[in-house]
Homo-oligomer: A and B are copies of this chain.
Amino acid sequence: MSQVGILISGRGSNMVALLDAMDRGEIPARCSLVISNKADAPGLALAAARGVPTLVIDHKASATREEHDAKVVTALREAGVEIVCLAGYMRLLSPVFVRAFKNRILNIHPALLPAFPGLHVQRKALDAGARFSGCTVHLVDEEVDHGPILLQAVVPIFPDDDEESLSRRILGLEHHLYAAALRLMCEGRVTVDGSRAVLDVPHKEYQRLSGGLIWSGDSQ
């Protein structure tokens, strides 16, 4: 069983999806700690209700990003965390943090990276007139929304979409994708080769997986 830590800043809907998947036994891991940088993050109560230890480390109490990150790293280590999942954590990670958990920090981003990094992602996709978007789970390196890609999922963009409808469609796949990627990590099926993550998954299984990572209707 891997020990996972989850970082949130708000509701943490992807945190809930990961906790649920662990509870259902779909991921060989348990969540040792949820940390929020905001005391009023609604996700704290959701984690606590599931019996997961929670901690608030307010970034405003630290003078620098490095000082804040050092506190977070210490707390994660004390809880025995091996893999860190960012779930709507609205903070850039300093090199201190990235190096402390090198190739063991996962993030999910609601676009097909390298397209549309950063904020206002759906707005960017709509403005670009993209006909497809999706979401990406990747290992975190020292650039924003960057690092070896583990899995991606695809959704179509329809002519009448706005940011809200597109966000909703992508979020439906995010929960599934993030759990699938964390499972691969915890099963030790991810290695990093330069800028790429190599998945130890048989071709047939990968092909099925890829097909399953394409949106197939609102009923999904």
Pairwise interchain contact A131-B210, C-beta atoms closer than 8 A = yes
CA of A206 to CA of B157 in the docked complex: distance in angstroms?
10
User: Measured between C-beta atoms, what is the minimum distance from A9 to chain B in Å?
Assistant: 27
Determine the residue in chain B with the shortest Cβ distance to A194: B127
Q: Which residues on the B side are within 8 Å of A199 (C-beta)?
A: 159
Pairwise interchain contact A112-B129, C-beta atoms closer than 8 A = no
Q: Which residues on the B side are within 8 Å of A203 (C-beta)?
A: 158-160
Contact A158:B112 (CB < 8 A) given known A132-B152, A195-B129? no
Q: Which residues on the B side are within 8 Å of A126 (C-beta)?
A: 196
Determine the residue in chain B with the shortest Cβ distance to A116: B114
Q: Does A198 contact B (CB under 8 A)?
A: yes
Contact A207:B156 (CB < 8 A) given known A112-B115, A214-B214? yes
Contact with B along A194-220 (1 / 0, CB 8 A): 011111010100110011011010000
Determine the residue in chain B with the shortest Cβ distance to A137: B131
Pairwise interchain contact A148-B131, C-beta atoms closer than 8 A = no
Interface residue tally for chain A (C-beta within 8 Å):
36
Pairwise interchain contact B112-A114, C-beta atoms closer than 8 A = no
Contact with B along A114-139 (1 / 0, CB 8 A): 11100000000011111110100000
User: Measured between C-beta atoms, what is the minimum distance from A194 to chain B in Å?
Assistant: 8
Q: Does A154 contact B (CB under 8 A)?
A: yes
Cβ < 8 Å to B, chain A residues 149-163: 149, 151-152, 154, 156, 158-160
Determine the residue in chain B with the shortest Cβ distance to A130: B149
Pairwise interchain contact A149-B128, C-beta atoms closer than 8 A = yes
A–B pairs, 13, beta carbons within 8 Å: A112-B132, A127-B196, A129-B149, A129-B196, A130-B149, A131-B152, A154-B214, A156-B211, A159-B199, A159-B201, A159-B206, A160-B203, A214-B214
